Copies of this chain bind each other. A is one copy, B any other.
Amino acid sequence: MKLLVIEDEAELAASIAGYLTDYTCETAATFTQALEKIEMFTYDCILLDLTLPGGDGLRLLDLLKKEKRNDGIIIISARNAMEDKITGLTNGADDYIAKPFHLPELAARVYSVIRRKQFSSANVVEQHEVKIDLLSKKVFVEGTEVPLTKKELDLLLYFIGNKNKVISKGALAEHLSGDMADMLDSHAFVYAHIKNLKRKLTEAGYGNYLKNVYGTGYKWEI
């Protein structure tokens, strides 16, 4: 899996590349640099920062679509630039994430975009003894169905997409509620969903792979 991170803030680009270790990440810091890479290679997913020095990021998007490329595209942009969001998505971007964002959140979106792209093989997600049918929204542990609520399934997919990485409670809260503000809030409700997810999985005979990291967050350790 190959990713291209088009981002002029070197620090941010580096942390993204460092976080998404399941993928091979390349980076581009300027418009021309990005153009060169895009014309040279294809990527499974392209992270595109719209505020790019040396050219408008949307022009890159247009280019990709005009060439009928099927690289997945996730727009990265400043928090309140809502117009960008709309323009970006109608122009063919697959997803959008607002700065500042949290890396697990980004990872989940990248995972989701890539999964959507390969709809054929990935409408069933398998991880160890867990099988998730994304079309019927059913979850199986060793063949027996485990009924999960929407939020529990959301959590499970989030963890599987970020396996072996510690996710902060705040990031989880934000992902579940879809609300940026929840990053700062109490997060207490996350406990409830984590608890229920763990309980349902263990009751179905699945080992406890969802572990707490004291003072930091949770991780799905496989």
Contacts and interface: CB of A to CB of B under 8 A. Distances in A.
Given A123-B19, A150-B216, A118 B164 contact: no
Nearest to A17: B120
A116 interface: yes
Interface residues of A, number: 36
A171 to B, nearest CB: 13
Given A136-B221, A214-B150, A18 B68 contact: no
Interface string A105-124: 00000000000111111110
Given A70-B9, A150-B215, A15 B116 contact: yes
A114 B34 CA distance: 27
A182 interface: no
A152 to B, nearest CB: 12
A8 B70 CA distance: 10
B118 A14 contact: yes
